[in-house]
Amino acid sequence: MNEDRVLVRVEGLKKYFPITRGILIQRQVGAVQAVDGLTFDIYRGETLGLVGESGCGKTTAGRTILLLYRPTAGRVIFDGVDLTVLKGEALRRMRRRMQMIFQDPFASLNPRMTIARIIGEPIRVHKLAANRKEEIERVQELLRLVQLNPRFINRYPHEFSGGQRQRIGIARALASNPEFIVCDEPISALDVSIQAQIVNLLEDLQDQLGLTYLFIAHDLSMVRHICDRVAVMYLGRIVELAPKDELYDHPRCSRRSRCRTRRWNGAVGASFWRATSPARSTRRRAVGSAPAVLWPLSARTRSRSGGTWAGVTGWRAILRIANR
Ligand SMILES: Nc1ncnc2c1ncn2[C@@H]1O[C@H](COP(=O)(O)OP(=O)(O)OP(=O)(O)O)[C@@H](O)[C@H]1O
Ligand SMILES: [Mg+2]
């Protein structure tokens, strides 16, 4: 593959979250190895799917690639520039070119801000409009782009339906004219009837604006529909990366009895195995929940952490970092 075609290069990316104990003096007693050495390329204009069971580190990977989390190790090279060595203004300039669409459109929109302010925020932060009038015009243009009525501009998030709110989230991501967008399960919180509309919108926007997507998802039929290549993640690592048809028609996992992806649980595991290996008579029942990415803590601490830490970092906190 031609080097020029690579927009994002991820090399040995790791993100460990420290686990500390103590009240006054905090000491580190371990680490959550959420992302543990990812290496892959994302090509210009493609949609790379990132799938895997809950807790395997997809969201952390997406956020670390955008440098919303500082990587523990490894590099993210965006359009030839190593983001991990950038700081301050230089990083902010690169951040304009990369955005994120969040899973929960309601939680990711500030309920006290009007749509004009929410979508206008990246425009102001990155100084993309000369004055207030130009900013409003740009917000209205973005609302039209995501097929919302520009007259909604002074409404608040609670006045919209789930699908409309996700369109606002998409408009917000587009406000800084990005080239690369991490879509973190953008449809999983939506009603089934709305999901296809949002996916079609994302596809139209990609054609229109030449966007590159990292599409994190659980719904494998949707991944097959929208993605060009698919990466399967397990325990913070990529266990398989292939063009979608190859992955679905000839998954390595069905040939390798001990492949980790087989442990996918719930609907994901079931639908994946139904879709990929219909003839398998020895399909193992999916077991377990969040993978044990904690080290070196006890099983008790592990299960406790799986439930609470994932929710520690709120969407809005992340948005604040994105706009710094
Ligand atoms: N800020 C944090 N501090 C500590 N641990 C974290 C933090 N964020 C995530 N983790 C842990 O990292 C692991 C990966 O979490 P992550 O949210 O990336 O998983 P995921 O694959 O996106 O899961 P899901 O499919 O449920 O969204 C989990 O064990 C989680 O508890
Ligand atoms: Mg996630």
Closest residue to atom 9 of ligand 1, CA basis: 310
Please choose, from the candidates 203, 231, 181, 171, the residue with its C-alpha nearest in 3D space to the C-alpha of residue 66.
181
If DSSP codes are grouped into helix, strand and coil, which group holds residue 9? Answer: strand
Q: Is the pLDDT assigned to residue 264 strictly greater than 60?
A: no
Furthest-apart CA atoms within the chain: distance in Å: 65
Ligand 1 pocket, residue 301 CB under 6 Å: no
Tokens of 209: 């604006």
**H or E stretch including 21?**
strand 6-21
Please choose, from the candidates 189, 172, 169, 207, the residue with its C-alpha nearest in 3D space to the C-alpha of residue 46.
207
**H or E stretch including 11?**
strand 6-21
CA 139 to chain CA mean position, Å: 24
If DSSP codes are grouped into helix, strand and coil, which group holds residue 157? Answer: helix
Residue 67: CB atoms within 10 Å = 19
Ligand 1 pocket, residue 32 CB under 6 Å: yes
| pLDDT per residue as tens digits for the range 157-182 | 999 999 999 999 999 999 999 999 99
Ligand 1 pocket, residue 49 CB under 6 Å: no
Tell the residue number behind the tokens 């990609």, with chain if given.
206
3-state secondary structure 90-124: HHHHHHCCEEEECCCCCCCCCCCCCHHHHHHHHHH
Quick one: pLDDT at residue 253? 56
CA 254 to chain CA mean position, Å: 27
HSE at residue 147, side-chain half, CA atoms within 13 A, is 10
**Could you tell me the distance, in angstroms and rounded to a whole number, from the CA of residue 313 to the centre of ligand 1?**
9
Residue 163: CB atoms within 10 Å = 17
**Could you tell me the distance, in angstroms and rounded to a whole number, from the CA of residue 322 to the centre of ligand 2?**
17
Residue 18 sits at the vertex; the CA angle it makes with 13 and 23, to the nearest 5 degrees, is 165
Closest ligand 1 atom, residue 306 Cα: 31
Quick one: pLDDT at residue 121? 94
Q: Is the pLDDT assigned to residue 316 strictly greater than 80?
A: no
Residue 204: CB atoms within 10 Å = 13
CA distance 152 to 167: 12
Ligand 1 pocket, residue 290 CB under 6 Å: yes
Mean of pLDDT values over 254-269: 43
- The mean predicted confidence, pLDDT, of the chain is 81
| pLDDT per residue as tens digits for the range 175-231 | 999 999 999 999 988 888 889 999 999 999 999 999 999 999 977 788 888 999 999
The ligand whose atoms approach the alpha carbon of 64 most closely is 1
Quick one: pLDDT at residue 246? 84
Instruction: Give the mutation target among 33, 35, 36, 59 for probing the ligand 1 site: most ligand atoms within 8 A of CB.
Output: 59
Q: Is the pLDDT assigned to residue 272 strictly greater than 90?
A: no
Ligand 1 pocket, residue 293 CB under 6 Å: yes
Ligand 1 pocket, residue 189 CB under 6 Å: no
Closest ligand 1 atom, residue 52 Cα: 21
Confidence of residue 323 (pLDDT cuts 50, 70, 90): low
CB burial of 215-229 (b: ≥16 within 10 Å; e: otherwise) equals: bbbbbbebbeebbbb
Residue 74: CB atoms within 10 Å = 18
Please choose, from the candidates 176, 68, 166, 181, the residue with its C-alpha nearest in 3D space to the C-alpha of residue 122.
176
Residue 109: CB atoms within 10 Å = 25
| pLDDT per residue as tens digits for the range 273-307 | 444 443 333 333 333 334 444 444 333 333 333 33
Confidence of residue 248 (pLDDT cuts 50, 70, 90): confident
**H or E stretch including 294?**
strand 294-295
Is 0.85 topped by the overall pTM?
A: no
Contact 115, 154 (CB under 8 A): yes
CA distance 284 to 127: 54
Residue 94 sits at the vertex; the CA angle it makes with 147 and 60, to the nearest 5 degrees, is 80
HSE at residue 227, side-chain half, CA atoms within 13 A, is 30
Write the CB contacts of 257 (distance below 8 Å, at least 6 apart in sequence).
none
